[in-house]
A and B are shown apart, each in its own frame.
Chain A
Amino acid sequence: MKSFNYIITDPDGIHARPAGILVKKAGGYSSNIQLAKGGKKADAKRIFGIMGLGVKAGDEVVVEAEGEDEEKAVDELKNFFETNL
């Protein structure tokens, strides 16, 4: 399993639009990808779960990937978070 931590800087947090883009992106990997905030976890391929975390600006999230392409997924998603969130 690979993971990274990230603190959200986008003032809107993870609202509907970036959640949608994240889901599309996560859907491109065969690995199982989880997004966690505090004690709560959500499947990064499911938009309602991600929105349900209610991630706001300043929140720290952990992204975990487990599977064949976990390394690639974590690298690319880290980049995605840094540029979009």
Chain B
Amino acid sequence: MITLNGKSVYGGIAIGKILFYKKKGKSVKRRHIENAEAEKKRFQSARTDAKEELKQLYIRALEDMGEANAMIFETHEIMLDDMDYIESVENMIETQKINAEYAVASTSDNFAKMFEAMDDPYMQGRAADVRDISERVINHLCGAGEHRLKLSEPVIIAAEDLTPSETVQLDKDKVLGFITMLGSSTSHTAILARTMNIPAVIGVGEGLSEKYDGRYAVADGTAGVIYIDPDEKTMASMQKKRSEEIQERQLLEEFKGKENVTRTGKKINIFANIGNISDVGLAVKNDAGGIGLFRSEFLYLENDTYPTEEQQFRAYRQVAENMAGKKVIIRTLDIGADKKIGYFNLAKEENPALGYRAIRICLTRPEIFKTQLRALYRAALFGNISIMFPMITSVWEVRQIKKIIEEVKTDLKQQGIPFKEVVELGIMIETPAAAIISRELAKEVDFFSIGTNDLTQYTLAVDRQNTALDAFYDPHHPALLELIRMTAENAHAQGKWVGICGELGADMEMTETLLDMGIDELSVSPAMILPLRKKVRECE
């Protein structure tokens, strides 16, 4: 078995025979010509034919791949009208008395080199466009027209690189995957693979060669790895991975864009739990209705010192903008207990789970809290941000938080810094105390989100880090369910909404029960959104 590494551009596993696509690579010969005018006419007529062909390709691509991807052919058409390009070809024909094919090939080289010399990788990649349009004209000059790659069986297409026109003309039903030696994530192969949902590994380099033509291979587009002549073990694990991905994709196709509604018409929001900006893509891909829990800890964990207001503002703003108006619930700093950070200089504790953590740190070290609140209120201008506070046990804590918020707003106003005046505020219900006084807490905030993991540990007095206690950690314990029911009832009595952002939210055995309690929102890991939607739609 041979293993080759490249860049992953589109996930999925392709298993099949490799077809190495060799470009005909027309060697263009330099010929002396007598009649420059006639040769220029030949060039112009080939150019016109090439443009006509691009028009047809545009129409075809528009149907197959959408306007954004089809545009490339329109851009190519405009390139063929470029006067610098045309003048260069005509000048060469005129002054050097050479054939049009050679003049086009030389011009193509010069223009491609200009792009390759630019410092921006995107522009460097445009050399491929110059070569593509020139090749098209040369094909017409040779009277060859376009050569299409005919596929008789499903294959993994391997090539040095693929031009947009080569890719669009492939019979997609027979393309299992793309693997290329060259290419970047902005190359056309990459873009088209993504649009056409075809696994692709690109930028494999010299390791990929023609000698693999006809060999059996697995291309793992998710990991960016190619296995040639895979051994049994690899084959088995890849087949398993493939069937899982296919299942996931089917779920996506079936349930994306659908409502989270039961058979009897009960609706519920399904949001995503995320722990970093990079997870937003997953949330969007899995059709999250919003972000139900954005853990802000990564900003602190990734830093050697307290993250600045600007750093935080940029992160919150980016997530809010990427979610385009959908709700983004950001939870303020929740460290302590099992998550410790060196520069906070927290003392060692006997009972960290019952110790100095989360809102307790924020309320006693308001300078840290205020930096985060300033960033949040400023970022709230750029999307639909809600703020959520962890580890609440008493009403006075919430009142204290609101007092600090007022101070923050006054400061921002005085400094003339724009911020959003009214931001939805909520608290985590993750202590039995908070659940029991939820009637009072509901008067203070706009929403509750029940953190069932901590609520279970605190209600049952079972340390969730201690595996010896697994038998006693019962997430379906009646005491816990009673606290959840009570919390929901008290929230609704005040006209507030209530969600669940712990593991119980994704527990399909409980979905029906939670729906009956009138829970308004479930926030789960992105991969669980569509399976959960499926479950909700099966409930009464």
Interface residues of A (CB under 8 A from B): 12-13, 15-17, 19-20, 23-24, 43, 45-49, 51-52, 54, 56
Contacts and interface: CB of A to CB of B under 8 A. Distances in A.
B123 interface: yes
Contacts of A19: 75
B65 interface: no
Interface stretch (B77-85, B232-240, B433-441): B77-85
Nearest to A15: B122
Which 6 residue pairs of A and B lie closest in terms of their CB atoms, listed nearest first?
A20-B75, A20-B78, A48-B82, A16-B75, A47-B82, A46-B82
Interface residues of B, number: 22
Interface string B54-97: 00000000000000000110110011011111000000000000
Interface string B109-148: 0010011001110110010011000000000000000000
A66 B83 CA distance: 19
Contacts of A16: 72, 75, 126, 129
Contacts, number: 52
Given A24-B78, A48-B79, A17 B118 contact: no
A52 B78 contact: no
Nearest to B122: A15
B120 A47 contact: no
B122 A46 contact: no
Contacts of A12: 122
A55 to B, nearest CB: 10
B-side interface mostly: helix
A54 B119 contact: yes
Contacts of B120: 13, 54, 56
Interface string B16-43: 0000000000000000000000000000
Interface of B: 71-72, 74-75, 78-79, 81-85, 111, 114-115, 118-120, 122-123, 126, 129-130
A9 to B, nearest CB: 14
Given A16-B75, A54-B118, 20 more contacts: A16-B72, A16-B129, A17-B75, A20-B75, A20-B79, A24-B78, A43-B84, A46-B82, A47-B75, A47-B78, A47-B79, A47-B82, A48-B85, A48-B111, A49-B82, A51-B115, A51-B123, A52-B114, A54-B119, A54-B123
Contacts of A48: 79, 82, 84-85, 111, 114, 130
Contacts of A20: 71, 74-75, 78-79
A48 B110 CA distance: 12
A47 to B, nearest CB: 5
Contacts of B126: 16, 51
Among A12, A19, A20, A43, the most chain B Cβ lie within 10 Å of the Cβ of A20
A48 B107 CA distance: 12
Contacts of B129: 16
A49 B85 CA distance: 10
Contacts of A23: 78, 81-82
A46 B81 CA distance: 8
A19 B115 CA distance: 14
Contacts of B111: 48
Nearest to B130: A48
A51 B78 CA distance: 12
13 contacts: A15-B123, A16-B75, A16-B126, A16-B129, A19-B75, A20-B71, A45-B83, A48-B130, A49-B82, A51-B126, A52-B118, A54-B119, A54-B120
Contacts of A15: 122-123
